[in-house]
Amino acid sequence: MMYDLIEQARAVIAAQLATAPRVALILGSGLGALADELEQAVVVPYRAIPGFHEPQVAGHRGELAVGVLSGQPVAVLRGRFHFYEGYTMQQVTFPVRVLRALGCETLIVTNAAGGLRPDWQVGEIMRIADQIFLPGMAGHHPLIGPNDERLGPRFPAMVGAFDPELASLARAVAAEQGLTLREGVYCMLAGPSFESAAELRLLRGLGADAVGMSTAPEVIVARHAGMRVLGLSLITNLALPDGPPANHEEVLAAGELARARFAALIRGVLARM
Ligand code: HPA
């Protein structure tokens, strides 16, 4: 049963910690290096945690780091599980459950995304103002099945899922740092193929500003569990119907280039939470 597996994972991790983390951070493709900046870090490899798996995707390492970042006790998931790897939506979102059980009340979730707006630049950061969870709408949803009331309500609301206070904080920190912070709608597709030109036109028509293959299920589960959520996408490529095809190498390279700016924004937000 999921509740018991969450508890087992929580206990394995908690046994190694002196203090409980309050903020959970999920670092997407190429953004994991921030975990190296933790103070008093305790690192737990995913293979040591019940219910976790070894990530298979280049740029995702597969360890949980708990420590202090900009004065905040944080738990950093370095590497995530993707639906396209063959995991179920419950497996994809299991780490969020565990971090909630460890004491995290806030989730900062990041990803690499294709930008759907021709006026945006590669390397820019978009705060996720809202999301479209296409696989969820099509029946691949982490909350399908019996609902365990200990974990959250049967029918959680998703209007306002992205916390307005954290949004203001992110805007203020970006302004201080002279950083352009875009805001928009993130649309999750299952992947792993990149979108066709017709699909990109469709996504624009749906009101999406960025497209990726993660994040939406984690946000749903975090909200189900009552966490506050800040979502940040790094625009690693422009996904335009008449543009060049996307590839994973450019996604990783853009992560590398934007790493310092991205890290500074997250640190600034943590410092003021
Ligand atoms: N499409 C889907 N997922 C992505 C992209 C993209 O263009 N870039 C980074 N992740």
Where exactly are the structural domains of the chain? 2-145+176-271
Q: Cα(21)–Cα(34) distance, rounded to whole angstroms?
A: 16
Q: Mean pLDDT, to the nearest integer, of 111-123?
A: 93
Residue (of 174, 158, 150, 273) closest to 232 by Cα position: 174
Residue 58, pLDDT above cutoff 70: no
User: In which element (H, E) is residue 91 found?
Assistant: helix 89-102
User: What residues have CB less than 8 Å from 84, skipping those under 6 apart?
Assistant: 190, 191, 192, 213
What is the overall mean pLDDT for the chain?
93
Question: Lowest-pLDDT range, 46-60, 94-108, 208-222?
Answer: 46-60
Question: Lowest-pLDDT range, 94-98, 209-213, 243-247?
Answer: 243-247
Question: Which residues lie with the beta carbon below 6 Å from any ligand 1 atom?
Answer: 112-114, 194-195, 211-213, 236-237, 239, 246, 251
User: Each residue of 11-28: pLDDT tens digit?
Assistant: 999 999 988 999 999 988
- Distance (angstroms) between ligand 1 centre and the Cα of 195 equals 8
- Whether 60 is catalytic is yes
User: Each residue of 197-212: pLDDT tens digit?
Assistant: 999 999 999 999 999 9
Question: Lowest-pLDDT range, 67-81, 182-196, 232-246?
Answer: 232-246
- Whether 126 is catalytic is no
Nearest CA to ligand 1 atom 7: 114
Catalytic residue among 24, 113, 167, 213: 213
User: What residues have CB less than 8 Å from 3, skipping those under 6 apart?
Assistant: 148, 150, 151
- Distance (angstroms) between ligand 1 centre and the Cα of 126 equals 14
User: What residues have CB less than 8 Å from 34, skipping those under 6 apart?
Assistant: 25, 27, 69, 76, 259, 262, 263, 266
Residue 246, pLDDT above cutoff 80: no
Q: Cα(218)–Cα(248) distance, rounded to whole angstroms?
A: 22
- Whether 140 is catalytic is no
In which band, very low, low, confident or very high, does the pLDDT at 53 lie, cut at 50, 70 and 90? Answer: confident
Residue 73, pLDDT above cutoff 90: yes
Portion of the chain with pLDDT greater than 70, in percent: 98
**pLDDT value for 59:** 57
- Whether 82 is catalytic is yes
Residue 63, pLDDT above cutoff 70: yes
- Whether 84 is catalytic is yes
- Whether 112 is catalytic is yes
The closest-lying atom of ligand 1 relative to the alpha carbon of residue 195 is 1
Contact 78, 34 (CB under 8 A): no
**pLDDT value for 57:** 63
Hey, is 233 helix, strand or coil? Answer: strand
**Planar angle of CA 44, 22, 171, nearest 5 degrees:** 115
Hey, is 11 helix, strand or coil? Answer: helix
Nearest CA to ligand 1 atom 3: 212
- Whether 214 is catalytic is yes
Ligand 1 pocket: which of 236, 238, 240 to mutate (most atoms within 8 A of CB): 236
Catalytic residue among 33, 37, 70, 84: 84
State both tokens at 263.
Answer: 């890290």
Contact 103, 235 (CB under 8 A): no
State both tokens at 151.
Answer: 């974990």
- Distance (angstroms) between ligand 1 centre and the Cα of 131 equals 15
Candidate CATH numbers 3.40.50.1580, 3.30.70.260, 3.30.2310.20, 3.40.50.920; the one for domain 2-145+176-271: 3.40.50.1580
Q: Mean pLDDT, to the nearest integer, of 140-163?
A: 96
Q: Cα(267)–Cα(179) distance, rounded to whole angstroms?
A: 14
Q: Cα(93)–Cα(135) distance, rounded to whole angstroms?
A: 14
**pLDDT value for 272:** 95
**pLDDT value for 250:** 78
